[in-house]
Amino acid sequence: MFWGWKTKLTQAIQKKSYCMWLTLSSNLRCPRNEISRRNNLKIIWKTVEEKLKRIPGFKIIGTAKHKTSVISFNIDGLHSYDVGMILDKMGIAVRTGHHCADTVMQHYHIQGTVRISFAFYTTKEEIDFALEQVKSVFEKTLV
């Protein structure tokens, strides 16, 4: 049985939740105009990409010209699930696996990737902390 009305109901609930979040965020720690000024996603992504490329053995998966604030990566010699579990224990939330791209990953002989995401409310401190933890995963495995 097809429940077509559920999609519209879900969208309405999501929009209401988003509006509530925006209202709360403007009253709490980050007004909307400051968010857009301070945390432009393109700037965040470029900064993160440049810093990650400096880590030996670090490989960003995907070289599209116009990217969003999602970075998929692997670290040489480490399985993506292991990297994800280590980062999780360090307080960094990432996704691991095929990310609904099994066929593409099979074509390129990739077993899986670690995916980290940033949003307009991500602070510079959170980004620096995440990058520091990713780098430490690589350094710890060299021992």
Spatial separation of the C-alpha atoms in residues 113 and 117, rounded to whole Å:
13
Residue 100 annotated to the active site: yes
Mean local confidence (pLDDT), 75-96: 90
DSSP three-state, residue 112: coil
Judged by average pLDDT, the poorest of 3-17, 20-34, 67-81 is 20-34
Task: Give the pLDDT score at 125.
Answer: 85
From 1, 28, 64, 100, the catalytic residue: 100
Taking the CB of residue 121, how many other CB atoms lie within 10 A of it?
14
**Is 83 within 8 Å of 75 (Cβ atoms)?**
yes
The percentage of residues in the chain with a pLDDT greater than 90, rounded to a whole number, is: 15
**Is 74 within 8 Å of 87 (Cβ atoms)?**
no
pTM above 0.75, yes or no: no
Q: What are the C-alpha distances in Å from 8 to residues 5, 11, 13, 21?
A: 5, 5, 9, 20
Task: Give the pLDDT score at 85.
Answer: 92
pLDDT mean across residues, the chain: 78
User: Partners of 117 in the beta sheet?
Assistant: 70
Task: Give the pLDDT score at 1.
Answer: 46
